[in-house]
C-alpha cells in the first residue's frame, strides 16, 4: 500500500483498482485514525455495517433527513456482499454515525439524524 497526500483542503476519499492494485487516496483533512481504518477495511473487502440486508431489525433510516444525492449510502446490500456471520455491531468502524449525510434543518441549521438504533 502506498500513501499519497492530497493538498488543497479538499475532502476526498476513494479506493479504486489501478493496474491490479488497490489505491487508497485520502485528503489531508481526512487523515484520522478511524477514517484510515475504515477505508483500509473497504480496501480488503468489507462493506458498511448499516447496509446489511437485515439492518432494519437493528436501525431505522430516516430517509427524509438524508441529503439530496446521498441515498446510495443507505441502500441495503445483498446478503452475499455482507454476510460476515456476525452479530450487528452498532459501534463497528464500518458503521456510519447517526448523523452521516444528514441534511441541515432549515430553521435551526442543526444537522438531522439519519439513523436511529432500535436496540443497543
Tell me the catalytic residues.
39
Residues making up the annotated binding site for Zn(2+) are: 38, 42, 48
Residues making up the annotated binding site are: 38, 42, 48
> Which residues in 97-113 are b (16+ Cβ under 10 Å) and which e?
ebebbbeeeeeeeebbe
Residues 6+ apart with CB under 8 A from 98: 113, 114, 115, 116, 117
- Cell 493538498 identifies what position? 7
Nearest-angstrom CA–CA distance, 74 and 102? 11
Secondary structure percentages of the chain, helix, strand, coil, to 5: 25, 20, 55
Amino acid at each position: 500500500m502506498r500513501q499519497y497526500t492530497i493538498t488543497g483542503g479538499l475532502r476526498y476519499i476513494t479506493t479504486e483498482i489501478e493496474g491490479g492494485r488497490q489505491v487508497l487516496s485520502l485528503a489531508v483533512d481526512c487523515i484520522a485514525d478511524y477514517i484510515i481504518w475504515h477505508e483500509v477495511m473497504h480496501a480488503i473487502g468489507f462493506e458498511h455495517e448499516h447496509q446489511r440486508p437485515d439492518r432494519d431489525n437493528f436501525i431505522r433510516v430516516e430517509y427524509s433527513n438524508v441529503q439530496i444525492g446521498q441515498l446510495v449510502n443507505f441502500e441495503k446490500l445483498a446478503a452475499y456482499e455482507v454476510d460476515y456471520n456476525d452479530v450487528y455491531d452498532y459501534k463497528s468502524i464500518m458503521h456510519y454515525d447517526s448523523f452521516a449525510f444528514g441534511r441541515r434543518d432549515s430553521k435551526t441549521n442543526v444537522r438531522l439524524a439519519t439513523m436511529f438504533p432500535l436496540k443497543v
